[in-house]
Structure 1
Amino acid sequence: MPLTFRKSFRILPGVRLNINKRSWSLTTGGRHGPRRTHSSTGRRTTSMDLPGPFGWRRTTRRGGRR
């Protein structure tokens, strides 16, 4: 099993900075309602938890490095 590095810091209420080996991302939003994530690689994700075992996620890629 490979070793991975991932760290998440809470900057403000509802704002998190996520860091891993290759990139960083900023997540806004809370547990209840939509969350938006913007990555340094250009990936943008909007997600939302729905009642029960359901969830919704939409990911787009804009510019940035690959």
Structure 2
Amino acid sequence: MALRFRKSFKIAPGVRINLSKSGVSTSVGGKGLTANLSKRGTRVTTSIPGSGFSASKLYGKRSKGAVEAAPTPLWAHVLTWLMIAAFLWWIFS
């Protein structure tokens, strides 16, 4: 039996910080569309809420044995944190 660890903290509506054994990641979005930025790359998940249907695609590094893709671009991380900062500024101002 494999042991797993995962903890998620909501820092703003639609923005979460996720902690696990493999590292830290940031999730942006909600029901229907979510983007997750981690050391593995960017995973975009779309779904039809309540139906059980979803699709997910990982952009960035590939599985073992595959040719390594380009890492998640810096602009994606910067854009995510700018959106978080703007949203927090909007809430608290």
TM-score range normalised by the length of the shorter chain: 0.7 to 0.9
What value does the CA root-mean-square deviation take over the aligned residues?
Answer: 1.8
Report the identity percentage: 34
Q: Would you say 1:63 and 2:71 are equivalent positions?
A: yes
Moved over 4 A (4+): none
Q: Describe the SS at the equivalent of 1:60.
A: strand
The alignment covers a number of residue pairs equal to: 62
Please name the residue that 2:22 is paired with: 22
Question: Structure with the greater relative contact order (CA < 8 A, sep ≥ 6): 1 or 2?
Answer: 1
Q: Would you say 1:8 and 2:16 are equivalent positions?
A: no
More helix by share: 2
Letter in 2 for 1:34: L
Report the structure number with the largest CA radius of gyration: 2
Runs of 5+ consecutive residues of structure 1 not aligned to the other structure: none
Measured in 2, the distance between the counterparts of 1:46 and 1:63 equals 15
More strand by share: 1
Candidates 43, 65, 84, aligned match of 1:45: 43
Measured in 2, the distance between the counterparts of 1:36 and 1:53 equals 18
Residues 10-51 of structure 1: CA deviation (Å, up to 9, x unaligned): 0111100001112111000111x3111100x14101111126
Measured in 2, the distance between the counterparts of 1:2 and 1:46 equals 26
